[in-house]
Amino acid sequence: MNERILAEDNQVVRRFFALDTQTYKPGALDVKTKEMLGLVASLVLRCDDCISYHVAQCKEAGVQRDEFFEVFSVGLVVGGSIVIPHLRRAVDLLDQLEQGSADTGATSCPDHA
């Protein structure tokens, strides 16, 4: 679907996708920190696809289980109990990733080019 969208003749949409990718590149902050920022932002905005993507990216960047739960705790306290259903699904995905059983197709690139 990303390919189809990027094939469209709309420069704003294409540039936005490129900018989104650029945002998480290492800079003053490393990839691990930036992905945790993306995860907590997705949690409080309650978007399951974005949460799944950033959980997978965080895992790949070396975020440990106790660190994940501290990111979750910030998202939960800032965003409130309305975040809980999304937190459950995030923990479920994390469990699957740790067991090597997550469907990688399901977690690939929900909000990035």
Site string for its own copies, 93-112 (x = CB under 8 A): --x--------------xxx
**Closest C-alpha to 52, from 88, 15, 27:** 88
The nearer residue to its own copies, 9 or 100, going by C-beta atoms, is 9
Site string for its own copies, 30-69 (x = CB under 8 A): ---xx-xxx-xxxxxxxx-xx-------------x-xx-x
Tell me the Ramachandran region of residue 109: left when phi exceeds 0, alpha when psi lies from -120 to 50, beta otherwise: left
H-helix segments, the chain: 2-7, 11-23, 31-45, 48-60, 65-79, 84-98, 104-107
- For its own copies, the binding residues (CB under 8 A) are 1-2, 4-5, 8-13, 15-17, 19-20, 22-24, 27-29, 33-34, 36-38, 40-47, 49-50, 64, 66-67, 69-85, 87-88, 91-92, 95, 110-112
